[in-house]
Amino acid sequence: MKKWVKITLIVAAAIAVLIIAAAIAVSPVAKNYIEKHDRELLGRTIRMERLRINIFTGRLRLQDLRIGGADDSTTFFRLDSFDMRMRLWPLLSNRVHVKKITFTGPDVKVYQRGNSFSFDDILAHFAGDTTAVAAEPEKPSKPWEIGIYDISIRNGRVFYKDLALDATWGMNDINLHIPGVYFAGEKTDVGAVLNFAEGGSLSTDVGYNIETSEFDIGIRLQDFALAGTLPYFRQAMNVSAVDGRLWADVRLRGSTEHLLSLRTDGTASLAGFALRDDRQRPVVGVDTLGMRLAEGDLGKMRFRFDRIYLSGLSALFEMTPDGNSFTALMKSAAAPESVPADTAAATPADTDTAAMPAPSLQIADLEIANGRVTMRDMTLHRPFEYTVSEIRMHSRDFDPSKRNKLTVDARMQKTGSAKLRWEGALDNMDNQNITLWLTNLDLRDFGPYCEFFTAYPLTKGNLTFRSQNVIRDRYLDGTNHLDMFEPKVDKKRKDIKPEMSIPLKLGLYVLKDKKGHVKMDLPVKGSLDSPEFSYRKIVLKAIGNVLLKVVTAPFSFLSGSRDNLEYIDIDPLQYVFTSEQYASLDKIAQALQDKPEMHIALTQRVNMSRALPRQAENALRMAYAAHLRAADSTAQQRLSMLEYEKIQQADIRTPQIMAFADSLLAARGISPQGLSAYAKATKLFGDEAARQLARMMAARNKALADYMQSTHGAAAPVFRVQTLDSVALQSYTGRDRYTIALEVDGETVEVEAEDDGNAAGSAEATAGTGTNAGEVSATDAAPVGGTHETAVSGTPANDTSESPAAGQANSADTAQ
């Protein structure tokens, strides 16, 4: 063999041995170098069980790779095995061609505290010095083409924990397959399947075109448990638990160069959702929520749904002195940080930003079924709880920018029902039309509110309510028709100071018709911009005004006419009732017949400071007439009507009568000097006049009671006649009249005349009779009329010497 051939073979063999040796040694050398210089390479410890590199086939295999944590006490990343197969010859032509990459059992643990992550030191290690030294521009090299094919991740695991929020996320059994990633103008397709530790899975397929920057992403979320999102809810809300599972099948299309032009469509559903407050109460819940998005265009802000369906919506709204259950859920927003003056000054005032289009929302079919809302009010004297269930809502072609029609039906507590019809646009609240029907509501359910506003507990009754409220240019014009059947309230609670002073029991009874209905028409008008506007206050005030009007003008309601009976005027010196007074008594009797459970009491009130001088003057006239008749032997024993009327017309200031009065005063040892005619009459006959007035008041009461009993069958306790006691009578300074008090079940209200400011009663309800009076029945007083002896006192009819006033009364009786 020739020498050069031998040399060639020896060199070739040596090279082969070196290559083989290098091929054999490259793996342990690379492994040893990586583990020895791990801090320089990565800043963390790197350990692996085996590393295999085949420089002939371009295959790299790795087993049991571990990367330590920042403090080396934990493992940041672990990989069971890694296998990569790469073609080497294309490297010579600036092409990277990886045929296959497989990651088996990757396990990564990530921790976050605020804005810091457990891998921040790795990123900082590779950041290095970003300052570049100016150099001569190099000739551009041929661009590299990179293609990575058949990328697989098998049985991967990701553990994430937010240490500040104590929030933990885990994804197990991550299986990801990417057919290819290209960096030479071809399309990239990526597919991934993630299984969450708490249950559920996420599968994706991603298509991306590098040349056009367009992407097409499909996301399928299956049975995702919301319990793991609790820490994120807690960032803004005071909640103790979040329940529910989520499904979604969505496609996202757009371009990475114009992310605001994102387009989307797909379906989503939610089941068993519940948001619980810090007392473990479900404040908001949904059994089933389904939606189908036909078009979602973020660039045009247009969202069009084919259907949104909600079943089993539930909510708890509780009002407390500190707020309500919804506001209690929300955490207080942190105060915004102040912007430094120099920073604000440096900000351009005329920043050129493209105006976003107005949002557009369309829902072809919107439906809510089987909803339930519970309201509790803990701010009242007695807790109020009310449940609206079986809520059904439906709307077709719903569009906030257009006029919509929406219907709602529901069950109110146990026996009632509700219907709501709404027409209007959500983006124009200045013009709305709302119609509401409430049928067969149990009034007892609203007892706590009734007690709070009026102090009366509700014990019985049903309510039907019809209301239509039209808003035009922010001005409300509404009508409300209220119909209560057999409403009843208990005695007024003395331990409650009500918001409104209304005699509710009596008002309801007077308003109640023969069939047991109480009907009210309550118009509501007002500007929504008025700071005093409150729909609830307006309606309650209207009801209160009606009830107050009832008790101040009850007979106009009872008779159905505009004529009201507030009192019966009397003359303290009258002996018989006039036709007008009898007509008033007849009206009272009719009211008692129409309202058999109602009692009426008349109280006689006489202004003694005015009546007594008048009666004393009459007594002086009668005494003077008796003096003249005693001197005339031909005078008749009893006065005729004509003679009595002439005596009443006499002026006591005449010299003859004054001389007679002076003689009587002198006989009593009283000097008449300086006394007027009226003062002389009062000095002489004041005491007798008071007794006469008292007897006449008693006679009037007796006559009134007799008439009501004999003519209308009205007797105590249904009908009573009362007189003020002596103390109240002497202090009374109002008009002479019978005032009228209505009583129902122990509650008495005295009808108050608008022109009477003195002790004529008020519209305020009281528990007792409301007077300091002595009652007179039809059997304990003498009748008016007949002889003096029976009408006034036991004084003989012919005995006028001792009491001129008695003679006056006797003559008056004769004149009758």
Query: Which value, in Å, is the radius of gyration of the alpha carbons in the chain?
Result: 51
- Residue 234 within a domain: no
State how many domains the chain has: 5
pLDDT recorded at residue 388: 95
The bridge status of strand 428-442 relative to strand 416-425 is antiparallel
Tokens representing 224? 């995702």
Domain co-membership, 171 together with 205: yes
Tokens representing 803? 């009491």
CA-CA distances (angstroms) from residue 403 to 19, 406, 433, 469, 528? 83, 10, 10, 16, 20
Tokens representing 94? 């600036």
pLDDT recorded at residue 410: 95
pLDDT recorded at residue 442: 94
Domain co-membership, 207 together with 64: yes
Cβ atoms within 10 Å of 771's Cβ, excluding its own: 22
Domain co-membership, 69 together with 189: yes
Residue type, 238: N
pLDDT recorded at residue 145: 74
- Residue 374 within a domain: no
The rounded distance, in Å, linking the Cα atoms of 159 and 172 is 9
Tokens representing 763? 């519209």
pLDDT recorded at residue 139: 58
Of 211, 235, 254, the one marking the end of a domain is 211
Q: Which residues of the chain have pLDDT under 50?
A: 129-134, 336-354, 756-816
Question: 């001389």: which residue's tokens?
Answer: 659
Domain co-membership, 700 together with 573: yes
Tokens representing 407? 């219907």
Q: How many separate helices (H) and strands (E) can be counted in the chain?
A: 18, 31
> For 562-676, where are the alpha helices, taking DSSP H only?
579-594, 608-631, 641-648, 655-667
3-state secondary structure of 759: coil
- Residue 653 within a domain: yes
The bridge status of strand 59-68 relative to strand 282-297 is unpaired
The rounded distance, in Å, linking the Cα atoms of 661 and 671 is 11
- Residue 269 within a domain: no
Instruction: Please choose, from the candidates 443, 566, 449, 564, the residue with its C-alpha nearest in 3D space to the C-alpha of residue 496.
Output: 449
Taking only the tens place, the pLDDT of each residue in 155-179 is 888 888 888 777 777 777 777 777 7
Domain co-membership, 190 together with 62: yes
Domain co-membership, 434 together with 537: yes
Domain co-membership, 619 together with 511: no
Domain co-membership, 792 together with 710: yes
Tokens representing 312? 């089993």
For residues 37, 40, 46 and 52, what is the CA-based torsion angle, rounded to 10 degrees? -60
The answer to whether the CB of 609 falls within 8 A of the CB of 573 is no
**pTM for the structure as a whole:** 0.63
Cβ atoms within 10 Å of 166's Cβ, excluding its own: 10
Domain co-membership, 575 together with 659: no
- Residue 201 within a domain: yes
User: What phi and psi values does residue 732 have, to the nearest 5 degrees?
Assistant: -75, 130
pLDDT recorded at residue 776: 34
- Residue 453 within a domain: yes
- Residue 337 within a domain: no
The answer to whether the CB of 481 falls within 8 A of the CB of 467 is yes
The rounded distance, in Å, linking the Cα atoms of 245 and 610 is 88
Domain co-membership, 32 together with 64: no
pLDDT recorded at residue 768: 32
The answer to whether the CB of 460 falls within 8 A of the CB of 496 is no
The rounded distance, in Å, linking the Cα atoms of 555 and 599 is 13
Is 129 buried (19+), middle (13-18) or exposed (0-12) by CB count in 10 A? Answer: exposed
Domain co-membership, 483 together with 391: yes
- Residue 518 within a domain: yes
User: What phi and psi values does residue 535 have, to the nearest 5 degrees?
Assistant: -60, -45
Vertex 277 angle, CA 274 and 279, to 5°:
120
Domain that residue 642 falls in: 615-685
pLDDT recorded at residue 461: 92
The rounded distance, in Å, linking the Cα atoms of 428 and 528 is 14
Of 685, 706, 738, the one marking the end of a domain is 685
Tokens representing 554? 């009850």
Of 211, 239, 261, the one marking the end of a domain is 211
Domain co-membership, 631 together with 580: no
The rounded distance, in Å, linking the Cα atoms of 65 and 45 is 11
